[in-house]
Amino acid sequence: GAGVSQSPSNKVTEKGKDVELRCDPISGHTALYWYRQSLGQGLEFLIYFQGNSAPDKSGLPSDRFSAERTGGSVSTLTIQRTQQEDSAVYLCASSGQLGLQETQYFGPGTRLLVL
């Protein structure tokens, strides 16, 4: 079946512009995660959705970052007034089984470059 998909695969934007990144999880997966991977910072958690609610958004680096999920499926990560330090690969993951044995399935990521 189809895996996690993300769009766009690459995004180049100018400093100060807003960007929207999209994630389509595996069908039926109730949990959805956003992570960010930047040079020198490794892979860091941003936000977690269970259904349409976000019980853990503690990883969002600033109030310029927000995310929503509608219909328990597609999620959008929005970065307002982008800064150069926002340049990174943004990864989405989904899972259908919560708990200590949960397996997360990752998408290919969106590579964001802020000029």
Minimum separation from the CB atom of position 82 to other proteins (A): 22
Q: In the stretch 23-52, what mask flags binding to other proteins with x, by CB under 8 A?
A: --------x-x-x------xxxx--x-x--
Alpha carbons 59 and 53: distance in angstroms, whole number: 15
Say how far apart CA 110 and CA 108 lie, in whole Å. 7
At 80, list the tokens.
Answer: 């307002």
Do the Cβ atoms of 31 and 95 come closer than 8 Å?
A: yes
Candidates 11, 65, 79, 109: give the one binding other proteins (CB under 8 A). 109
Q: Which of 18, 56, 68, 85 binds other proteins (CB under 8 A)?
A: 56
The amino acid at residue 64 is: R
Binding-site ranges for other proteins (CB under 8 A): 4, 31, 33, 35, 42-45, 48, 50, 56, 59, 91, 93, 98, 100-109
